[in-house]
Amino acid sequence: MENTLGLEIIEVVEQAAIASARLMGKGDKNEADRVAVEAMRERMNKIYMRGRIVIGEGERDDAPMLFIGEEVGICSRPDAADYCNIEELVEIDIAVDPCEGTNLCAYGQPGSMAVLAISEKGGLFAAPDFYMKKLAAPPAAKGKVDINKSATENLKILSECLDRSIDELVIVVMKRERHDDLIKEIREAGARVQLISDGDVGAAINCGFAGTNIHGLMGIGAAPEGVISAAALRCLGAHFQGQLVYDPAVVRTKEWANMTKEGNLARLKDMNITDPDKVYTAEELACGENVLFAGTGITPGNIMNGVRFFKGGARTQTLVISSQSKTARFVDTIHMFDQPKIVQLH
Ligand code: VTB
């Protein structure tokens, strides 16, 4: 899978990031998202693959593009038999977030990325549009920290696994009212908190690399983003656990103001999620034999640069993590927009 798709997948996230970056700082998050979706879809549909969106912009009715269930790639077209040897092509599931951290992009803040994860069919958990309690930690703490334990206990475990005192730990938490108690607990336990306004995928991935000075991600973010984070962290051998959150009183967002816990539980049941309290590991959320994560920085982040435009082009940085080749590659690309066509000499 990696051999045939890897390079083209890089271009998918690069194109989405460039499109969004043109709107960086313009204050219009919907437009920053829309152009990324369009660019991602256009590039994806030029790839010889049979892809299906399992995590995307929402259900078909409210998302015109990259909606859940949408088939992408040349070999998904009705006339695919004319182009591809369909029987031989592996069917691929794709989770996308074309502009992760739309607010960050719209307001010129660090940490927005164009991201996706792919795997063979059935290899990614089709997370519903719910919230998810998340715990991410470096490889050394994998399987040792536990989302069922308190933050205080997990900080002790982290400090042992990483061989550093608790006050040397930095934990990322999204700045939300629902995290007030969690933030207080982390601080009281002696660790330091890095508050972010958005973009918990980037924060989770930072936990997978040494030298980022980020040692954990705790708190509640969106579930689809949790699956993309899990895909990256699984490939990196780092820790990720996620548990769906369905109680509006816990989430405390105005979007969920009119929802009820009972109503949400019924929605989950309709989606065949029989155990709504299940704690999923990275390996369960991204269970495929081969998993690939790709992300391009839109605005600058901790481990990746954002898109930088120059006369006639742009430069991007992309992180590609593969479970198959056990590699994390940083791909630095110069895009030449105005390059004249090379004349063929006979
Ligand atoms: C979460 C988080 C994302 O938006 O979805 C957040 O996972 C929205 O949370 O990384 P609220 O509904 O509480 O605002 C992001 O930060 C950006 O898409």
Band (pLDDT 50/70/90 cuts) for residue 86 is confident
Output the DSSP codes for 248-268. HHHH--GGGTT--HHHHHHHH
Strand partners, 320: 294, 329
Q: What is the pTM of this model?
A: 0.95
Q: Which residue did the predictor score with more confidence, 330 or 61?
A: 330
Contact 114, 245 (CB under 8 A): no
Contact 119, 91 (CB under 8 A): no
Residues within a 6 A CB radius of ligand 1: 100-101, 176, 198-201, 221-222, 225, 253
Cβ neighbors of 90 (< 8 A, separation 6 or more) are: 1, 50, 120, 121
CA-closest residue to ligand 1 atom 3: 199
CA-closest residue to ligand 1 atom 17: 101
Q: State the distance from the centre of ligand 1 to the C-alpha of 164, rounded, in angstroms.
A: 30
Distance CA(346)–CA(342), nearest Å, equals 12
In tens, the pLDDT along 14-29 reads 999 999 999 999 999 9
> What rounded mean pLDDT belongs to the chain?
95
pLDDT at 80 over 90: no
Band (pLDDT 50/70/90 cuts) for residue 279 is very high
162-166 — which CB contacts under 8 Å span 24+ positions? 162/138, 162/215, 165/190, 166/190, 166/191
Q: Given this model, what pLDDT does residue 99 score?
A: 98
In tens, the pLDDT along 151-210 reads 999 999 999 999 999 999 999 999 999 999 999 999 999 999 999 999 999 999 999 999
Per-residue pLDDT, averaged over 63-69, amounts to: 93
How many CB atoms are located within 10 Å of the residue 211 CB? Answer: 8
Q: Please, what are the domains in the chain?
A: 2-122+290-336 (3.30.540.10), 131-285 (3.40.190.90)
- 3-state SS assignment for residue 153: helix
Q: State the distance from the centre of ligand 1 to the C-alpha of 5, rounded, in angstroms.
A: 29
Contact 85, 187 (CB under 8 A): no
